[in-house]
Structure 1
Amino acid sequence: MTDSNSLSRRRFLQATGGAASAVALAGCTDGGDGGSTDETTADDGGQETSEPSDGGNENYLQYINSTVTTFDPVASTDEASANVISNIHQTLVHYPRGEPQTEALLAADYSVSEDGLTYTFTLNEATFHNGDAVTADDLVYSWERLAASENTRRSSFLLDVLGVEHETETTTNGDGEEVETYAPGTLAIEPVSETEVEVTLSQPFASALGMIAYNAFAVHPENIVGDVPGYEGTMEYTEFATSNPVGCGPYELENWEQGTSVDITAFDDYYGEGPVNDGVHWQIIEDPDAQWTYTMEKNADAFGIPTSKYDPSLVSVEETDDQGRELGTYGPVRNDSTLNYSGISELVTYYIGFNMAAVPKPVRQAFAYAVNRDVIINEVFKQRGESAFHLTPPAIYPGGANAYNEHVESEYPYGVNESQLDEARRVMEEAGYGPDNRYELQWTQYQSSTWESMANILRDQLASAYIDMQIESAPFATLTQRGRQGNLEVYTLGWGADYPAPDNFLQLLNPEETITGGDTAPISYLNWTEENGSAAQEATEAWQTILNNKAPTDEAAEARAEAAVTMEEANWEDIGFINLYHPKGESFWYDWIDYQPPGAMGAANVMEKDIELTGSRE
């Protein structure tokens, strides 16, 4: 990683215990209580279930969201914020409605050089919310902020993952060590004309357009804030990030009451089609009981259902579309309505993570032997997903779902969908633990009754293997802050695809980027080193192979695939993550809305401009 603010990921998922829900609680893909994704804070705001506060405009879409933290694309690390940002700001390309194929957005056209290094983008004739025309200089400035802003959390996406050519300089970190960091103003991004720009990569990258679709790459007006060298800024950063986030998207911010609600209103000069509605209102509700009451009082048009309120027997699937979405109905529910339903296997993995420097390997092995994913998914998460043994989801695993399952059946060392408590006790006893020498550790999770039910099952099982586990719930922002500081022992989180390729997931297993407590923000909190993992070097070398073979060629793809399997097996050997389940993203909506459910990439970073209210709310 190249700067102290990088957090190389799109969706650092709150492990709340269930399945993603289209527009509901878009702060962390619902782990089970209706959920949201990424870094968010959770407070007591927005728990009321009264009528939406959109000023009475009946043509506003009514949704639920988790706690929003910022409207600055380069600073956002949570899906609650991303759901709003993607409607205010625009990227060059995007994943339409979360389907895993990119399409041009702010770019009217683009081309790639024969060597795969230079991308030339021609911009649409678009206008920012402040009336300024969008130009190539705005793109240069926006990506410079992504690389060098003191507020960026995503610089590695640009500098390391996408690999835009740039220069580095030697600086001294907080420990007095010399490190190489990005040299501001050296990005290989050149305006060709007012509306054309060339971007040069250090090497070809098969998923370049997919990475650019992430909303940190959104374009905002040149010099809007002065948080990078060479730009003084025309407004204070706080104004841009919280009350006046000038973009060129189909909506502009109308109102944000932190912890309570967000309203955006249609932008009249949007360059594309729509919006077909007047705006969107998100009610901020964290508590699953309050979410359910809110939806049953018909205050939300489309939403997710908390796992605690979910009944799989009420799902009736009538067809499956070409994107793999199961379409049908759900109900009748508590208010006697039968809801429209969509479900799709998302590119998401939830996991148990260990601070490997703090938790000995025998304890990690005991956890792995104790976990029975079938029980967890069927009894706790109510069949809203499938067992996860790899970090990489089946749809993008090398060779596909069949290869995924074959590798698990033949190689997974801790039992497939069974709990092996005898083996858990054996490894603990061999390490010197027993009835008179028990191991104590702290389990930290996001606040969720569903996920806590799963933790209780594990706690009770592990007690027979001489492990005493204390369960603690914490707001998501607190959990991730503790993780970055190295103050977690075992924790629960998840990851959703920034772009649909294994390397996007496997970066979490790159040992170099798992070290906590330093100047650089780790991607995961494993602290995986050769001192605590015999396979750490193997994982490091495999990750380097992936980085050295990013090109869109068959030879490079084969090398990446082999290295991906190596990294998955290295994780099995040292047990940094215990992968638990890949959730099904489920959406529910009333008949009065012409809703378009998201695809496998999930509900984050999709626009609501084409969603139409077709009838009156009952």
Structure 2
Amino acid sequence: MKQRKYPLFLALLLSLSMLLAACSEDKENEKKNHILNVTETQDIPSMDSVLATDAVSFNVLNNTMEGLYRLGESDKVVEGIAKGEPRVSEDGKTWTFALRDAKWSNGDPVTAHDFVFAWRKALNPKTAAEYAYIMYDLQHAKAVNEGRKSPEELGVKALDDKTLEVKLEHAVPYFKQLVTFGTFLPQNEKFVTEQGEKFGLEADTTLYNGPFTLAQWKHEDKFNMEKNPQYWDADTVKLEQIHTKIVKDTQTDVNLFERGVVDQIKLSSEFVDKYKGEKGFFTMKESSIFFLRFNQTKNDLLKNADARKAIAMAINKKGMADVLLNNGSVAANYFVPKELGIGPNGKDFRETSGEFLTTNIKEAKKHWKAAKKALGRDTFTLELLNYDDDSAKKSGEFIKWELEKKLPGLMVNIKQQPFKQKLDLEKKMDYDMSLSGWGADYLDPMTYLDVFVTDGAHNQQGFSNAKYDQLIQEAKTTLLLQPEKRWRAMMKAEKILLEDEAAIAPLYQRSRAFLKNSKLEGVLFHKVGADQSYKWAEFKE
């Protein structure tokens, strides 16, 4: 009798083992379906929202932090820490925001005082925040930033823990969208003070109030985010973790994707044709403009307008976009991108503002000859500051080849630097030319044009034009409620920047080609502010 029981026992044991294995596999699959694996070409320069200036930092901040509002689908403003619509005074200068019950990742409540502290910190001249100027619509902001008034005189006040009052210098119709930008994020004063100079430099020296927290940050290697259980809208967040590996080479990206190690990657030109028929292939048109900065303080050649025009007009921008990039990017004969702002006439800014510095080899040679004559020299050497990722390297080599071929006597030496170091060299103005990019912070041409006002924090190249400054100042103040005149002022400013001065050389408006896991849905791509939002992302069968 006992011998007959053994086969039955073994059969039951085998069935139980198979059931446990199946359950284990289901749990593993469920776990994988809540972990997003992606790559980034660069490390995070800073997690201090008032010091951040770059796309990588703002992207991580966007997913780990939250301001009064955030951007949702199609870049529409959706609720964040603020509940409902703000109350706006009749003259448009006083905005009052009611705040919801929200918490920081350490359990502290998010209050109106956190916004007051962060905004005062951003404008305090001791902070030296490069993006302080984006807050100049706030009452007394410019005076505070220039040290003429104390931070306590800034037009922002906590009426109580859950009510924030903001006073503006002028009525700003787009102010609600403006506060979705990273510089307007709150900070917990007690935590920031405790961390001191370490704040924002490591995962555990930063506090979070957004959909995710930065759980691990191994510099120049990887950074991982985890779902924030303290987030007020945590039920909406489906992903449990987001793992980001820093990968500078596209071939490595492709290999990781093919092996199923990562769920979404960017493709460089040589891989686009191979994968564009795949189910997971897609392209995204962005508002980012890539251009050459000309430092007018360091190299005599670049102080010469004819030399700048020669360089700007010598590069085959269409070839660069169509062949070298091959990802939907288009040649840019402008600085304000297409599809950014609709004017009072109902037309896109680009439709009415025209094109400048188009590729024209004959004109380039003419300006080059004039520059040589004015400087009394035939040979020149310029250093091109560049990023160190795979795509940027190819762009740098293309620019060097184009300029040396078409402008006789010019030699271009490329200096490739990691992202953070490159930004630092630009800030110190320790370069000749630099391959740079600028993305929109809000949906208005001003987010591009005010970059190059005299001594602007992001000017970083010594450009100065009094008429340009006047037009920008008027468009940001007295003309805000006169849309037709404001639009014309901005168009005149762009013409001065490009056609008259050639202060920069626009190259292309970027699109990017991606491959993604076909089950991945809900990742939002933005034309303004941060590149992506993962709050609504999930894997679907």
Alignment TM class, shorter chain as reference: 0.7 to 0.9
Question: Is the contact between residue 352 and residue 579 of structure 1 (CA under 8 Å) also seen in structure 2?
Answer: yes
Could you report, residue by residue, the CA deviation over 1:468-508 in whole angstroms, capped at 9, with x for unpaired residues? 22233222333332222232212110110000111110012
Question: Is the contact between residue 123 and residue 141 of structure 2 (CA under 8 Å) also seen in structure 1?
Answer: no
Distance 1:364 1:123, change over 3 A: same
1:206 Cα deviation after fit: 2.4
Match of 2:462 in 1: 527
The CA distance in 1 between the partners of 2:377 and 2:170, in whole Å, is 57
Which one-letter code corresponds to 2:311 in the other structure?
A: F
Question: Is the contact between residue 65 and residue 209 of structure 2 (CA under 8 Å) also seen in structure 1?
Answer: yes
The CA distance in 1 between the partners of 2:320 and 2:296, in whole Å, is 24
The CA distance in 2 between the partners of 1:402 and 1:302, in whole Å, is 32
Match of 2:155 in 1: 188
Distance 1:461 1:223, change over 3 A: same
SS of 1:140's partner is helix
1:428 Cα deviation after fit: 2.9
1:408 Cα deviation after fit: 3.1
Match of 1:35 in 2: none
The CA distance in 2 between the partners of 1:291 and 1:509, in whole Å, is 36
Question: Is the contact between residue 145 and residue 152 of structure 1 (CA under 8 Å) also seen in structure 2?
Answer: no
Match of 1:238 in 2: 198
The CA distance in 1 between the partners of 2:127 and 2:269, in whole Å, is 36
Q: Unaligned regions of 5+ residues in structure 1, if any? A: 1-53, 171-178, 227-233, 316-329, 332-337, 514-521, 530-535
| Structure 1 residues 538-557: aligned runs within 5 Å | 538-549=467-478, 551=480, 553=481, 555=482, 557=483
Question: Is the contact between residue 353 and residue 493 of structure 1 (CA under 8 Å) also seen in structure 2?
Answer: yes
Match of 1:32 in 2: none
| Structure 1 residues 419-498: aligned runs within 5 Å | 419-420=360-361, 422-433=362-373, 437-447=378-388, 448-464=392-408, 466-498=409-441
Could you report, residue by residue, the CA deviation over 1:112-139 in whole angstroms, capped at 9, with x for unpaired residues? 1111111110111112211122222222
Could you report, residue by residue, the CA deviation over 1:318-370 in whole angstroms, capped at 9, with x for unpaired residues? xxxxxxxxxxxx42xxxxxx4242x3322211111111243122211211331
The CA distance in 2 between the partners of 1:199 and 1:186, in whole Å, is 12
Q: Does 1:105 align with 2:80?
A: yes
| Structure 1 residues 398-417: aligned runs within 5 Å | 398=343, 404-405=350-351, 407-408=353-354, 412=356, 414=357, 416=358
Match of 2:15 in 1: none
Match of 2:316 in 1: 372
Match of 2:289 in 1: 349
| Structure 1 residues 276-295: aligned runs within 5 Å | 276-295=238-257
Q: Does 1:117 align with 2:117?
A: no
1:310 Cα deviation after fit: 2.3
Match of 1:70 in 2: 46
The CA distance in 2 between the partners of 1:578 and 1:505, in whole Å, is 14
Instruction: Decide which structure has greater helix share.
Output: 2
Match of 1:80 in 2: 56
Q: Does 1:205 align with 2:186?
A: no
Match of 1:265 in 2: 226
The CA distance in 2 between the partners of 1:600 and 1:166, in whole Å, is 27
Q: Does 1:509 align with 2:452?
A: yes
Distance 1:239 1:585, change over 3 A: same
The CA distance in 1 between the partners of 2:351 and 2:272, in whole Å, is 28
Greater mean deviation of Cα atoms: 285-294 or 147-156: 147-156
Match of 2:3 in 1: none
1:158 Cα deviation after fit: 5.4
| Structure 1 residues 607-618: aligned runs within 5 Å | 607-615=533-541
| Structure 1 residues 562-581: aligned runs within 5 Å | 562-571=488-497, 572-581=499-508
Q: Which of 130, 139, 158 does residue 164 from structure 1 map onto?
A: 139
Could you report, residue by residue, the CA deviation over 1:182-227 in whole angstroms, capped at 9, with x for unpaired residues? 513222222223211111111111221222101222223232223x
Question: Is the contact between residue 163 and residue 202 of structure 1 (CA under 8 Å) also seen in structure 2?
Answer: yes
Which one-letter code corresponds to 1:112 in the other structure?
A: V
Percent of aligned positions that are identical: 18
1:406 Cα deviation after fit: 5.9
Question: Is the contact between residue 49 and residue 61 of structure 2 (CA under 8 Å) also seen in structure 1?
Answer: yes
Match of 1:30 in 2: none
1:580 Cα deviation after fit: 1.4
The CA distance in 2 between the partners of 1:608 and 1:472, in whole Å, is 34
Which one-letter code corresponds to 2:160 in the other structure?
A: S
Which one-letter code corresponds to 2:290 in the other structure?
A: Y
The CA distance in 1 between the partners of 2:31 and 2:38, in whole Å, is 14
The CA distance in 2 between the partners of 1:241 and 1:148, in whole Å, is 20
Question: Is the contact between residue 47 and residue 57 of structure 2 (CA under 8 Å) also seen in structure 1?
Answer: yes
Question: Is the contact between residue 89 and residue 218 of structure 1 (CA under 8 Å) also seen in structure 2?
Answer: yes
The CA distance in 2 between the partners of 1:279 and 1:152, in whole Å, is 34
Match of 2:25 in 1: none
What TM-score comes out, normalization by structure 1 length? 0.74
Distance 1:540 1:239, change over 3 A: closer
Q: Which of 225, 249, 265 does residue 192 from structure 2 map onto?
A: 225
Could you report, residue by residue, the CA deviation over 1:144-200 in whole angstroms, capped at 9, with x for unpaired residues? 22222855625524542x323358479xxxxxxxx6445132222222232111111
What TM-score comes out, normalization by structure 2 length? 0.84
Question: Is the contact between residue 445 and residue 474 of structure 1 (CA under 8 Å) also seen in structure 2?
Answer: yes
Larger Rg over CA atoms: 2
How many correspondences in the alignment?
Answer: 497
Question: Is the contact between residue 205 and residue 550 of structure 1 (CA under 8 Å) also seen in structure 2?
Answer: no
Distance 1:610 1:361, change over 3 A: same
Question: Is the contact between residue 244 and residue 253 of structure 1 (CA under 8 Å) also seen in structure 2?
Answer: no
Question: Is the contact between residue 154 and residue 216 of structure 1 (CA under 8 Å) also seen in structure 2?
Answer: no
Question: Is the contact between residue 383 and residue 412 of structure 2 (CA under 8 Å) also seen in structure 1?
Answer: yes
Which one-letter code corresponds to 2:111 in the other structure?
A: T
The CA distance in 1 between the partners of 2:533 and 2:372, in whole Å, is 56
SS of 2:192's partner is coil
SS of 1:185's partner is helix
SS of 2:83's partner is strand
Could you report, residue by residue, the CA deviation over 1:69-108 in whole angstroms, capped at 9, with x for unpaired residues? 33221122222222222222111011115x3332221101
Which one-letter code corresponds to 1:457 in the other structure?
A: W
1:248 Cα deviation after fit: 1.7
The CA distance in 1 between the partners of 2:269 and 2:123, in whole Å, is 39
Question: Is the contact between residue 339 and residue 591 of structure 1 (CA under 8 Å) also seen in structure 2?
Answer: yes
Match of 1:215 in 2: 182
Question: Is the contact between residue 90 and residue 106 of structure 1 (CA under 8 Å) also seen in structure 2?
Answer: yes
Q: Does 1:253 align with 2:253?
A: no
The CA distance in 1 between the partners of 2:489 and 2:423, in whole Å, is 28
Distance 1:523 1:181, change over 3 A: farther
SS of 1:396's partner is coil
The CA distance in 1 between the partners of 2:112 and 2:172, in whole Å, is 22
SS of 2:75's partner is coil
Distance 1:169 1:370, change over 3 A: closer
